[in-house]
Chains A and B, each alone.
Chain A
Amino acid sequence: MPAIPLDAKPVQRKRRGVSPWVAVTRTLAALSAGYWVAWGSTAFLTWALPMSRANRVTTASLLCFAVWTAAAMYAFAARSSWRAWWVLLLIGAALYAPALMFAAEAMRP
């Protein structure tokens, strides 16, 4: 005898989806905290890349959308909304900090 009777009704699933508040906080995290990470990575690469200034700025800027996309995906994949926020804010800050600390170095030609 099969473990599940063939004529059994599908198990009534719980309410689909999640509360709108979770959706809103995660979307906000994806957009704003994600943008913050992209901002940080652009500033970081503008400081760190071994190229001329014009090339550094252009390369760093063009890559920012890939970073933002990855960050947005993390905002939804993270275990909790809280975690999504603080991890992204931290990564953004960690990236932005050296660019601010070595501001003159970042502006080398």
Chain B
Amino acid sequence: MKNSFSQSMAWLHTWAGLIVGWLLFVIFVGGTIACFDAELDRWMRPGTAAQAPARPAVERVIDALQKEQGDAHAWYVYLPTQRFPALKGGAYHDDGRYEVHAYDAATGARLQDTAGGEFFFTLHYNLHAGTIGMYLVGLAGMMMLVAIVTGVVVHKRIFKDLFLFRFRAGGQRAWLDGHNLTGVLGLPFHLMIAYTGVAIFVASYMPAGLRTGYGGDAEKFYQEVAPSPHRQEMHRPPPSRAPLWPMIEDARRRLRADPWLVSVEHPADASTIVGVGLDHSRHVAWNWRTAYYDGVTGASLGESPPPGAAYHTYNFLGGLHMVQFGGMAFRWLYFALGLSGCAMLACGMQVWVEKRAKQVAAAGALSGYGLVRALNVGVVAGLPFAAVSMLWANRWLPADVAGRGDWEIRTFCIAWPLAAIWAIARLRRGKPWRDLFAATSMLMIGLPFVSMFVAERGALPRTLADGDWRMAMVDSTLLALGIGFAWLARRAASAAARKESETASAASEPA
């Protein structure tokens, strides 16, 4: 068979893409939003001070953790940064539970709880489905890798097509060109993000190396690549707790940079160890350099050595994925390329439908084709609607409601299926794409205005007046996205109208 390799690759591209396209879309949207997770975390706590004092109230956070999370396996205190100028205190429990709250940097008063940007980050890496979700995401990432490589193989005129967008051609042509343009333009990024994405959890996805090299003893491996002091538990409570701030100041001198992450291991045991580490903003590679202290006496226990070559490569790949380096410019670049990835996926799945337009029309709604169309509109148009609904919930929920973050997530979980069901019901007659895009657009554009009334301290007029650009940026991004969705709604409406008239004229023509 002539050209059969290219054909088999086209086939693989089509099916690998179709099977995981929707899942990948969810992962991409989550990841794109998570580029600004810290900014969103703050936006969802309107009124958080824009500047943290030089001496944040870490003791208050430790007091709160002592009172509420005394039996935790480890505590984590996140010091204020420019992106998130408040304190965070988290507790990690033996059963894998992780509970985190934010505290005012100056007073140590607990801030309003929210699902925050963290929600989208978790959606991105495990779909809020724990270990199973992590494996699903890994599988989707693998198939994305395959789809990218085969996509390049099937694409013979890869450079020429970059300049080709038959936008007005409509139908399959426009979708295919959209898919190609975003796919080729973002190709290096997509390849990098897929590979580094699956590489982050390589120890879970591919334990063959640990099995062969360490007999499956992961603990031993991590002690070799990233050693940290470990002490036997003494099974008695610590007689006292050394103050944190002197350790943080000492770590600042030792590591020659501003500390970010303070961990307290086994806080309920006399063997407790405090680690003070940096954030990952200075280098591409994750920086795990940490200074350790005895939690009872405050005496220094030394520093972690720099990682070996291979593990440094791993840290580099992980850092490249998580874009904590390069500041706002790189965050925006990743955000834009992430959006283009979302567009690539949405266009690609639409190509599948348009290519089979005849079969789709013949098969009707209750068929495999109907299912694909339903999933397309339910996921691609439903997810942005659910995401912005969640932000609305953040603004509308009463300030003192218990489990505020959970209610935000609940809103997301209700809004999405509702939008999807409604769109599917309108699939046969109606314009579900236009409807959902228009609704999303209105919610996005409306949100900055709603904030003016219900969260005045975090609203655009105030943040602009204060020169708080990061928060103003969130609102203006919402406005820009809202305009984008309005444009999509208009296009969806005219495309649906064209299709209707085509079918009508085809039906009226004599056979």
Residue of A nearest to B11 (CB): A76
Residue of B nearest to A70 (CB): B149
Residue numbers in A under 8 Å from B314 (CB-CB): 58, 62
Complex Cα gap A62–B205 (Å): 11
Complex Cα gap A2–B419 (Å): 55
B9 within 8 A of A: yes
Give B3 Cβ to nearest chain A Cβ, in Å: 12
Main secondary structure of the interface of B (DSSP, over half): helix
Complex Cα gap A47–B16 (Å): 33
Complex Cα gap A53–B209 (Å): 10
Complex Cα gap A66–B313 (Å): 16
B211 within 8 A of A: yes
Task: Decide if A107 touches B308 in the complex (CB within 8 Å).
Answer: no
Task: Decide if A58 touches B313 in the complex (CB within 8 Å).
Answer: yes
Task: Decide if B308 touches A54 in the complex (CB within 8 Å).
Answer: yes
A33 within 8 A of B: no
Complex Cα gap A65–B225 (Å): 21
Give B341 Cβ to nearest chain A Cβ, in Å: 18
A88 within 8 A of B: no
Give how many B residues have a beta carbon under 8 Å from the other chain's beta carbons.
Answer: 40
Task: Decide if B209 touches A60 in the complex (CB within 8 Å).
Answer: yes
Looking at the complex, which one of B9, B146, B212, B221 makes contact with A47 (CB distance below 8 Å)?
A: B212
Complex Cα gap A17–B359 (Å): 13
Task: Decide if A99 touches B212 in the complex (CB within 8 Å).
Answer: yes
B8 within 8 A of A: yes
Residue numbers in B under 8 Å from A73 (CB-CB): 9, 12, 146, 149-150, 153
Additional A-B contacts beyond A47-B212, A57-B212, A66-B195 (6; CB < 8 A): A42-B212, A55-B311, A56-B209, A61-B203, A62-B202, A76-B8
- Cross-chain pairs A/B with CB under 8 angstroms, 17 sampled: A30-B12, A40-B208, A42-B208, A46-B209, A54-B225, A55-B309, A55-B311, A57-B214, A61-B203, A64-B208, A65-B195, A65-B198, A73-B153, A76-B150, A77-B9, A99-B212, A106-B213
Point out residues on B near A: beta carbons under 8 Å.
4-5, 8-9, 11-12, 15-16, 19, 139, 142, 145-146, 149-150, 153, 195, 198-199, 202-203, 206, 208-215, 221, 224-225, 308-311, 313-314, 317
Closest 10 CB pairs of A and B: A58-B310, A42-B208, A55-B310, A57-B209, A76-B12, A57-B213, A61-B209, A46-B212, A43-B212, A39-B208
